[in-house]
């Protein structure tokens, strides 16, 4: 119905009636403006006009009241009344599924809430109602209420107990990462792992980390990663990093949903969780084996630093040299003590022992130096070998590394099948590809 027609029905058009001469009835049909039985409007036209006028008059606004008769339809819509107890007034409200999924928990009857929406009219039944787009509460808010309810239930089950936390391996060989491939968190984690432990294999499982259905994707990604890890011994994961960058409470809420939280708690592989910034605390972090303040910190906690390992080996070598020197000194002192107790006739034995100790003392620095040099050379060789074996280094040299869709490396012709989908990791990112044909060497 046009705005002019609505205005006509509600008496908003100006001008006096009967100024112009009315044409004959046969010239045109009566005007349906509701001013006479002949011009009566239909019920649907009346309701549509009333709805248009109502929505145009008020627009979006906040309304306060108490919840009553809250219900949820099979389609996911919420229906309830908002009451004003002081004046014994109420208004019907509807919160459609497209907005209701953001609700962390349904409010209880009698709870005072604030709703943001548009007054409108349900044209089919002519019923005045408030179409709600957002709900908030006084005090803690629905987010905090939902958080505390689930936290208490998890605590009662023992899932927050410190004694159930598992220690991480000191030198992991393979790390799983669950996050969004489009987020900055993945880049931060990979950068730290590549710098600190280039020998570690990294298996990434993509999932959405916010929005409707994100909690289920987090659960599925964790489960698929664990199943892949248990497939055979050479794919065993030592730890999993679950992470995403910062955001609002609503952005991070999927990590407070029971679906994702229980998946983290049930993981047979130790989980390091880093969600948002340091001040953000989610239930996934509380049930994880270790919480990190940021994605980069999670990667630092997962692996040792190769520079620290090399420094520790150098320190151990110097300590070994000092210990050997102390042994020689104590041996010389013991020989002197025994020599003083021997008769003079045994003096030549003492002299021989002193000569041997002197010779050993002269050879000792050279021998220790050679041993330390061999250890350093071997360590450098091992580090170079590890760097050469790393898929990331292979990519950095301009080659490509082929993996299947589950992250397993494809190294021989027997790993490929016609029309098989696979991924090529190249310098700067990944390329999705399909094998048109498989042709073994003759």
- Residue 364 pLDDT exceeds 80: no
Q: For the chain, how big is the Rg over CA atoms in Å?
A: 38
What local confidence, expressed as pLDDT, does residue 54 receive? 75
What local confidence, expressed as pLDDT, does residue 330 receive? 84
- Residue 282 pLDDT exceeds 80: yes
**Which CA distances in Å does 354 have to 17, 299, 327?**
135, 56, 15
Q: List strand residue ranges (DSSP E) for 168-228, in order.
A: 174-179, 201-206
Q: What is the pLDDT confidence band of residue 21, given thresholds at 50, 70 and 90?
A: very low
Helical pair 347-389 and 306-341, crossing angle rounded to 10 deg: 170
Q: In this predicted model, what pLDDT tens digit does every residue of 387-419 receive, in sequence order?
A: 666 666 666 666 788 888 877 888 788 888 888
More confident: 38 or 153:
153
What local confidence, expressed as pLDDT, does residue 188 receive? 94
- Domain map (residue ranges) of the chain: 3-11+32-143, 171-304, 307-386, 392-434
More confident: 376 or 207:
207
What local confidence, expressed as pLDDT, does residue 18 receive? 36
- Residue 323 pLDDT exceeds 70: yes
Mean pLDDT of 412-439: 83
Q: Poorest-confidence range of 2-6, 58-62, 83-87, 205-209?
A: 2-6
The answer to whether the CB of 295 falls within 8 A of the CB of 277 is: no
Q: What one-character DSSP code corresponds to residue 168?
A: P
Please state which CATH number belongs to domain 3-11+32-143: 2.40.50.140
What local confidence, expressed as pLDDT, does residue 352 receive? 78
What local confidence, expressed as pLDDT, does residue 163 receive? 93
Hey, what are 345's tokens? 């006739």
What local confidence, expressed as pLDDT, does residue 15 receive? 38
Mean pLDDT of 203-222: 93
CATH class of the domain whose range is 171-304: alpha beta
Mean pLDDT of 37-49: 78
Burial of 234 by CB count in 10 Å (0-12 exposed, 13-18 middle, 19+ buried)?
exposed
- Residue 197 pLDDT exceeds 80: yes
- Residue 64 pLDDT exceeds 60: yes
- Residue 25 pLDDT exceeds 50: no
């Amino acid at each position: 119905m046009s705005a002019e027609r609505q205005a006509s029905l509600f008496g908003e058009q100006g001008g006096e009636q009967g100024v112009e001469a009315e044409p004959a009835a046969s010239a045109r049909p009566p005007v349906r403006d509701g001013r006479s039985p002949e011009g009566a409007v239909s019920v649907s036209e009346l309701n549509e006009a009333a709805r248009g006028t109502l929505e145009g008059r008020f627009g979006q606004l906040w309304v306060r009241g108490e919840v009553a008769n809250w219900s949820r339809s099979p389609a996911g819509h919420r229906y309830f009344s908002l009451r004003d107890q002081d004046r014994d007034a109420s208004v019907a409200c509807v919160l459609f599924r497209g907005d209701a999924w953001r609700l962390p928990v349904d409010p209880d009857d009698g709870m005072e809430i604030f709703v943001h929406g548009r007054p409108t009219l349900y044209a089919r039944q002519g019923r005045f109602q408030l179409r709600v787009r957002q709900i908030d509460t006084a005090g803690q808010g629905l987010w905090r209420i939902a958080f505390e309810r689930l936290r208490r239930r998890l605590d009662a089950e023992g899932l927050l107990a410190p004694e159930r936390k598992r220690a991480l391996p000191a030198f992991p060989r393979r790390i799983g990462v669950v996050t969004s491939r489009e987020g900055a968190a993945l880049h931060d984690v990979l950068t730290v792992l590549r710098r600190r432990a280039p020998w570690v294999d990294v298996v990434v499982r993509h999932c959405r980390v916010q929005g409707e259905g994100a909690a289920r994707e987090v659960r599925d990604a964790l489960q698929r990663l664990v199943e892949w890890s248990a497939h055979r011994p050479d794919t065993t994961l030592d730890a999993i990093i679950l992470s995403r960058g910062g955001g609002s409470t609503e952005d991070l809420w999927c990590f407070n949903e029971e679906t994702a939280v229980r998946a983290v708690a049930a993981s047979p592989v130790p989980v390091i969780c880093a969600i948002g910034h340091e001040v953000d605390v989610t239930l996934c972090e509380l049930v994880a084996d270790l919480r990190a303040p940021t994605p980069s910190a999670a990667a630092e906690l997962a692996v040792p630093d190769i520079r620290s390992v090399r420094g520790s080996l150098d320190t151990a070598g110097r300590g070994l040299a000092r210990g050997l020197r102390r042994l020689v000194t104590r041996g010389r002192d013991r020989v002197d003590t025994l020599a003083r107790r021997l008769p003079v006739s045994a003096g030549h034995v003492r002299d021989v022992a002193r000569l041997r100790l002197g010779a050993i003392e002269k050879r000792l620095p050279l021998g220790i130096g050679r041993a330390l040099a061999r250890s350093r050379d071997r360590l450098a060789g091992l580090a170079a070998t590890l760097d050469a074996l790393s898929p990331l280094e292979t990519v950095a040299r301009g080659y490509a590394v082929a993996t299947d869709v589950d992250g397993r490396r494809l190294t021989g012709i027997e790993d490929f099948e016609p029309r098989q989908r696979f991924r090529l990791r190249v310098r700067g990112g990944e390329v999705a590809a399909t094998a048109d044909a498989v042709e073994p060497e003759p």
